[in-house]
């Protein structure tokens, strides 16, 4: 059953390659696996870290909430439709591009 972990790793790699565009950040933050992302203030903000000296992460990062405003009741978690749509579109396009028999030319 090696194909399932390989497929998952491949999808994560695809997401890493477009994450910079999605979050409007330099792509090196995501494509370089050894990059120290914990010290990037914009990434800390997206994750809801309030202090660079105390890297405590929330269960659901602020980026998943609409307007990056946490709802303590969690009723609006995954309400950031723009982010979810961008990720979904990117994954859909990657599947389309590698589908056997497609006739797309770039």
Q: What is the rounded average pLDDT of the residues 2-21? A: 80
C-beta atoms surrounding 16 within 10 Å:
15
Q: How many domains does the chain have?
A: 1
The answer to whether residue 104 sits within a structural domain is: no
Query: Domain limits at 80?
Result: 3-98
pLDDT in tens, 12-64: 888 888 888 888 899 999 899 899 888 888 888 888 887 667 777 778 888 88
Q: How many C-beta neighbours within 10 Å does residue 70 have?
A: 15
Q: Quote the percentage of the chain above a pLDDT of 70.
A: 82
In a domain, 103, yes or no: no
Asked if residue 67 belongs to a domain, the reply is yes
CA contacts within 13 A on the Cβ side of 22:
23
56 and 49 Cβ atoms separated by less than 8 Å: yes
Report yes or no on 106 lying in a domain. no
């Amino acid at each position: 059953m090696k194909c399932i972990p390989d497929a998952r790793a491949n999808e994560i790699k695809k997401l890493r390659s477009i994450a910079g565009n999605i979050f409007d950040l330099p792509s090196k933050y995501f494509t370089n696996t050894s990059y120290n992302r914990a010290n990037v203030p914009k990434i800390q903000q997206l994750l809801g870290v309030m202090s660079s000296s105390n890297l405590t992460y929330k269960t659901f990062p602020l980026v998943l909430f609409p307007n990056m405003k946490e709802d303590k009741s969690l009723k609006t978690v995954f309400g950031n439709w723009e982010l979810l749509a961008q990720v979904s579109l990117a994954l859909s396009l990657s599947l389309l591009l590698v589908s056997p028999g497609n006739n797309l030319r770039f």
